[in-house]
Chains A and B, each alone.
Chain A
Amino acid sequence: MRNAIIIFLGSILIALLVAFNYKTKNYFNDKNRIDNNLQQLKSYELDINYNVLKVSFFFYTNLDNLKKDESKIDSILDLLENESNIKNDKQLYKEFTEYKKAVLNKIDESYRFETNAIPVKNANMYIIKLLSGYDYEVINNTNYSNYVNRVLSNILFFENTFDKAFITNLKKNVSMLNSFALNNEAQKFNDVFVKNIKIMNNYFPKYNYFLNKVLNNQSLNKLEELHKIFLEKSNQKLIIITIVSYLLIGFVIFVGILILYLFYRVDKENELLEKLSITDDLTGLYNRRKFQDDSKNIKNPILLIVNIDRFKYYNELYGVEIGDFILKEVAQTLKILLYKIDVDIYRLGADDFGILSSKNNINAEKLSENIIKYFKNNIIEFNNLEFNISVSIGISEFEPLIETADIALKEVKQNSHKQYEVYNLSNVYLKKIKNNMNKLSILKNTIENEKIIPYFQPIWDNRTGKVIKYEVLARVSNDSKVESIYPYLDIAKENKLYKYITESIYKKAFEKFKDTNIEFSLNIGIADLNEPETMDLINNLFDKYPKIVKNITFEILEDDAIKNYNILKEFITFVKSKGCQIALDDFGSGYSNFAHILNLDIDFLKIDGSLIKFLPEDKRMQVIVETIVKFSQKMNIKTIAEFVASKEIYEKVKELNIDYTQGFYLGEPSDKLVGE
């Protein structure tokens, strides 16, 4: 919209400027052309005067000059007559027609002047010829000759004075000349002489008349008048042009200011957008994007990732509101703690805060200690609730900063005696690789040597106090040491070894229970369901040991149930048709969704250890577990409490009417069944 306004105003401005330029250019062109033509007319008119005087001055001269002036004047008059500025202006056109008439008349008079001047000139020439003796020697009469001389001098006076007084004399002279008695030859001479004098007599007044007519012609005055009026009218138009140009300049300034203002606003908004794009909404700290930019522009960067311990726990148990409050408090605290130091603070992820600086500016380890100490000694309060927050810190100066600092942070999380760790290329990274390689080789070795063995953990009925079934758990048996399979699971999945673990455990479990009527539960994960060999194995085992199929319960992870709903539903339908039962494992660890559970036709719910562990002291937990139990009872689903590690928990579990108990308190996992 704003751009449209700018483009629109700009276009109008350009159009106006072009139009104005075109108009003024035309105006000046027209004006100059007409002005020039009027000037030229004047000069040609003066040239006519000059040529007429020239004719008058010389005995003979080139008469073409007048013709040339006439044709020039004609063509200029034609041009002017077609000028719209003259044609369309009544007053100017009237003046112009009057002038045209006058100047054409003047030209006509000039020609008439020539017609009358030439006989006078010829008569003059004749007289000159007489002075040189031409035709004159024939006269043999002294008195007559003397008189002729007197007449000649009279003529010369007249000729050179143009005084009319001498004309009267000439008339007398003629009658005197004719009174002489002359011989034949002299009479002939006298005849021509008298005729020439008479020509002068006759033609001179007209000659004089037309000469004055031409030289004092009104046409030049009319031309001046025409020119004056034209210039006045042009100047009037010039005033309009000046006014319009001022208006246009005003408009240009207005549009210029407007455009500047609009640009200013765009700038402002860009600034705001930039601010938004580089800050985190919740905490007001810089965001991860800003971090990416900044880290590139800093020399020897060092990053501290500050992570809130067990933040997920706060968020899930107390709600997002409290989670957000904690994040804000931590951000605020970091700002206050670090405001004196040359560092920038970012929110890099959910509960990850980044502190970026140059290696030379800070002592990262000392700083980490201070931060950790501060949170340890201070409590965050929210609506009378007190939270004792602790943080872990990963430090790195190696690229990529976030990833390496994160590795260091994970190191901290795995080693509970440490609260910060510095990422070190030689130890952390290599240690991790070495660890993984080591694990892989152990796992491979274990699988090859059939060292994956099933352990059985009893599940007790809380009402009868008897074992109702066993959960089959995988263990790694190495050098007489038996350890959990859990640390190896990721590596097994990555290296396609997972199915061997499942195969080994399943076979051994079936073998163990084949001749009994004891119920047992097997863990199955999405990795198994996606493995055709494992599904074949299950079918084969079902076929091989048909009697005990009804004793089997498959334990499914809640997380898998949500993420791979359709595959699981298919599997459940299949095993249920064979008489198996289904338990949902770790219920309550994720975002539990009851609606899903209903659809999956579950027989048992295993309540997650995170809910059970703090059951005796945490009222909120009690409420959650109570709700789960009530819900399950209504749905005819049995509940199992996991991680029952103490008498207190066990008592609470029974109090809350949970059906079954599993845990160290009643029985640890073992390679033997109870009583064996």
Chain B
Amino acid sequence: MKKIILFFIPLFIFASEPITPIYKVPYDKQKAELGKKLFFDPSISEDGTVSCASCHDLRYGSSDPRAVSVGVHVKLGRIQSEPVYNAVFNFRQFWNGRARNLYEQIDGPTHNPVEMGLNSKRVEKILNDNSFYKKEFTKIYHKNYITYEMFKDAIVEFEKAMVTPNCKFDKYLEGKVNLTKKEKNGYLLFKKFGCITCHNGVNIGGNSFQKIGVVYPASNRVGDRYEVTKNPEDKFVYKVPSLRNVELTAPYFHNGITYNLNEAVELMAYYNLGLKPKKEEIDAIVAFLKTLTGKSPKILKANK
């Protein structure tokens, strides 16, 4: 069998671009609309000040413009907030991939005492005491009591809708538009330098765990894969972040070390490839990266 597979491999050599265009994920519209309400509602937090949107700011590509997020009672988190946009395409959630899917991810910020700081029972009480949610949930789930699972389910449906379509690069891949010479060159360098080895697939990242600082060791190890597996090999290993909307999601890296995209590219080339690309090369790569900025999801436009 293996031999056969090996035999066929050459046939796929020209098979595909390592990056594939974004696609729509089917979702339940009613639930997603309800999830949207929950997403923006700060009352579902310990002191009524923090909503999902507080740290997944839609003005900044649904991530936090602050290096670390601020939770209830103005407590500081310890890691950069990841974008909600296109999170559905990630193979794991969180920088260290401790959640296997969106459903598990919601537990994280909800229960985290420095984020929303609520246990499941508290969430249920808040929702069941709210006549609006009571009515909406009953309408959609046909149950008298709102459970924590229903709460998560609604938000997950909303997150499935949070996909940013029609970025320039997707259109280029679909053959609808052409890239500028600079952007094209940037993409070529992106591949040539080896960025593509990790940043590929539909999310241009988000599909493997990789070590930051392969060539030159990085510092400031926080929230890495080691915290989950306790395997020494997993130190400084993080889920590769998606590069979609990267133009909007500063600051960059797990510790939000820079707000400058050029600098972020330079740092990445240095740490993981041992390269010091020329300024024009970095400019070109950044120009390519900016073609990854998509349109706002339909669900956000719907009833404004």
Interfacial residues, chain A to chain B (CB-CB below 8 A): 46, 49-50, 53-54, 57-64, 66-67, 70, 111-112, 114-115, 118-119, 121-122, 125-126, 129, 192, 195-196, 199, 206, 215
Q: Which residue of B lies closest to A58 (CB)?
A: B13
* Contact pattern, B 157-195, Cβ under 8 Å of A = 1, otherwise 0: 000000000000000000000000000000000011110
Which residues of B have CB within 8 Å of A196?
215, 274
Q: Which residue of B lies closest to A118 (CB)?
A: B197
Does the CB pair B200–A64 fall under 8 Å? yes
Does the CB pair B197–A115 fall under 8 Å? no
A46, A53, A122: the one contacting B6 at CB < 8 Å is: A53
Complex: A121 Cα to B196 Cα, angstroms: 11
Does the CB pair A63–B6 fall under 8 Å? no
Q: How far is the CB of A110 from chain B (nearest CB, A)?
A: 10
B19, B201, B274: the one contacting A67 at CB < 8 Å is: B201
Does the CB pair A62–B20 fall under 8 Å? yes
Does the CB pair B274–A115 fall under 8 Å? no
Q: How far is the CB of B176 from chain A (nearest CB, A)?
A: 21
B13, B192, B210, B216: the one contacting A115 at CB < 8 Å is: B210
A63, A195, A215: the one contacting B200 at CB < 8 Å is: A63
Q: A57-B9, A62-B18, A125-B194 are in contact. Are A192 and B215 (CB under 8 A)?
A: yes
Q: Which residue of A lies closest to B12 (CB)?
A: A54
Does the CB pair B9–A59 fall under 8 Å? no
B9, B91, B275: the one contacting A70 at CB < 8 Å is: B91
B131 beta carbon closer than 8 Å to chain A? no
Q: Which residue of A lies closest to B6 (CB)?
A: A53
Does the CB pair A63–B201 fall under 8 Å? yes
Q: Considering residues B1, B194, B275, which has the most beta carbons from chain A within 10 angstroms of its beta carbon?
A: B194
* Contact pattern, B 199-210, Cβ under 8 Å of A = 1, otherwise 0: 011110001111
Q: How large is the interface on B (under 10, 10 to 19, 20 to 34, 35 or more residues)?
A: 35 or more
Q: Which residue of A lies closest to B201 (CB)?
A: A64
Q: Which residue of B lies closest to A113 (CB)?
A: B208
Does the CB pair A114–B12 fall under 8 Å? no
Which residues of B have CB within 8 Å of A67?
91, 201, 207
Does the CB pair B207–A121 fall under 8 Å? no
B214 beta carbon closer than 8 Å to chain A? yes
Does the CB pair A192–B208 fall under 8 Å? no
Complex: A70 Cα to B210 Cα, angstroms: 18
Does the CB pair A115–B208 fall under 8 Å? yes
Does the CB pair A115–B211 fall under 8 Å? yes
Does the CB pair B194–A126 fall under 8 Å? yes
Does the CB pair B194–A61 fall under 8 Å? no
Q: A122-B197, A192-B274, A195-B274 are in contact. Are A111 and B5 (CB under 8 A)?
A: no
Does the CB pair A199–B214 fall under 8 Å? yes
Q: How far is the CB of B52 from chain A (nearest CB, A)?
A: 24
Complex: A49 Cα to B192 Cα, angstroms: 26
Which residues of A have CB within 8 Å of B20?
62, 64
Complex: A50 Cα to B3 Cα, angstroms: 10
B142 beta carbon closer than 8 Å to chain A? no
B99 beta carbon closer than 8 Å to chain A? no
Complex: A192 Cα to B16 Cα, angstroms: 31
Complex: A53 Cα to B18 Cα, angstroms: 15
A61, A192, A199: the one contacting B18 at CB < 8 Å is: A61
Q: How far is the CB of A340 from chain B (nearest CB, A)?
A: 93
Q: How far is the CB of A603 from chain B (nearest CB, A)?
A: 105
Q: A62-B20, A195-B274 are known contacts; what are 10 more A-B pairs with Cβ within 8 Å?
A: A49-B5, A62-B19, A62-B201, A63-B201, A63-B208, A64-B20, A64-B200, A121-B197, A126-B274, A192-B274
CB under 8 Å from chain A, chain B span 78-99: 91
Which residues of A have CB within 8 Å of B272?
119, 122
Q: Which residue of A lies closest to B97 (CB)?
A: A111
Complex: A195 Cα to B20 Cα, angstroms: 32
Complex: A199 Cα to B211 Cα, angstroms: 12
B257 beta carbon closer than 8 Å to chain A? no
Q: A60-B197, A126-B274, A215-B2 are in contact. Are A195 and B208 (CB under 8 A)?
A: no
Which residues of A have CB within 8 Å of B126?
none
Q: How far is the CB of A257 from chain B (nearest CB, A)?
A: 56
The 9 tightest CB contacts between A and B, nearest first, are A64-B201, A67-B91, A122-B194, A192-B274, A63-B207, A60-B197, A114-B208, A119-B214, A125-B194
Does the CB pair B200–A60 fall under 8 Å? yes
Q: Considering residues A46, A50, A206, which has the most beta carbons from chain B within 10 angstroms of its beta carbon?
A: A50
Does the CB pair B209–A122 fall under 8 Å? no
CB under 8 Å from chain A, chain B span 1-48: 1-2, 5-6, 9, 12-13, 16-20
CB under 8 Å from chain A, chain B span 264-296: 272-275
Does the CB pair A66–B207 fall under 8 Å? yes
A58, A59, A66, A126: the one contacting B273 at CB < 8 Å is: A126
Which residues of B have CB within 8 Å of A122?
194, 197, 214, 272-273
Which residues of B have CB within 8 Å of A215?
2
Does the CB pair A62–B16 fall under 8 Å? yes
Which residues of A have CB within 8 Å of B58?
none
B198 beta carbon closer than 8 Å to chain A? yes
Does the CB pair B12–A119 fall under 8 Å? no
Q: How far is the CB of B289 from chain A (nearest CB, A)?
A: 17
Complex: A126 Cα to B274 Cα, angstroms: 9
Which residues of B have CB within 8 Å of A58?
13
Q: Which residue of A lies closest to B203 (CB)?
A: A64
Does the CB pair B5–A50 fall under 8 Å? yes
Q: Which residue of B lies closest to A199 (CB)?
A: B214
B118 beta carbon closer than 8 Å to chain A? no
Does the CB pair B208–A60 fall under 8 Å? no
Which residues of B have CB within 8 Å of A119?
211, 214, 272
Complex: A125 Cα to B190 Cα, angstroms: 12
Q: How far is the CB of B111 from chain A (nearest CB, A)?
A: 24
Q: Which residue of B lies closest to A125 (CB)?
A: B194
Q: How far is the CB of B296 from chain A (nearest CB, A)?
A: 24
Which residues of A have CB within 8 Å of B209?
111-112, 114-115
Q: Which residue of A lies closest to B209 (CB)?
A: A115
Q: How far is the CB of B273 from chain A (nearest CB, A)?
A: 6
Q: Which residue of B lies closest to A124 (CB)?
A: B194
Q: How far is the CB of A124 from chain B (nearest CB, A)?
A: 9
Q: How far is the CB of B2 from chain A (nearest CB, A)?
A: 6
Complex: A659 Cα to B132 Cα, angstroms: 125
Q: Considering residues B207, B208, B237, which has the most beta carbons from chain A within 10 angstroms of its beta carbon?
A: B208
Q: Which residue of B lies closest to A54 (CB)?
A: B9
Q: Considering residues B1, B203, B216, B274, which has the most beta carbons from chain A within 10 angstroms of its beta carbon?
A: B274
Complex: A111 Cα to B1 Cα, angstroms: 22
Q: How far is the CB of A282 from chain B (nearest CB, A)?
A: 83
Complex: A196 Cα to B214 Cα, angstroms: 9
Which residues of B have CB within 8 Å of A206?
233
Q: Which residue of A lies closest to B89 (CB)?
A: A64
Which residues of B have CB within 8 Å of A195?
215-216, 274
Complex: A62 Cα to B200 Cα, angstroms: 5
Q: How far is the CB of A423 from chain B (nearest CB, A)?
A: 91
Q: Which residue of A lies closest to B273 (CB)?
A: A122
Q: How far is the CB of B98 from chain A (nearest CB, A)?
A: 14
Q: Considering residues A119, A122, A126, A196, which has the most beta carbons from chain B within 10 angstroms of its beta carbon?
A: A122
Q: How far is the CB of B78 from chain A (nearest CB, A)?
A: 23
Complex: A313 Cα to B214 Cα, angstroms: 140
Q: Which residue of B lies closest to A192 (CB)?
A: B274
Which residues of B have CB within 8 Å of A57?
9
Q: List 22 A-B contacts (CB under 8 A).
A: A49-B1, A59-B194, A59-B197, A60-B18, A62-B16, A63-B198, A63-B201, A63-B208, A64-B91, A64-B202, A64-B207, A67-B91, A115-B211, A119-B214, A121-B194, A121-B197, A122-B194, A122-B273, A125-B193, A126-B275, A129-B192, A215-B2
Which residues of A have CB within 8 Å of B18?
60-62
Which residues of B have CB within 8 Å of A192?
215, 274-275
Which residues of B have CB within 8 Å of A66?
91, 207-208
Which residues of A have CB within 8 Å of B200?
60-64
Complex: A114 Cα to B191 Cα, angstroms: 17
Q: A62-B16, A63-B200, A63-B207 are in contact. Are A53 and B274 (CB under 8 A)?
A: no
Which residues of B have CB within 8 Å of A129?
192
Q: How far is the CB of B68 from chain A (nearest CB, A)?
A: 26
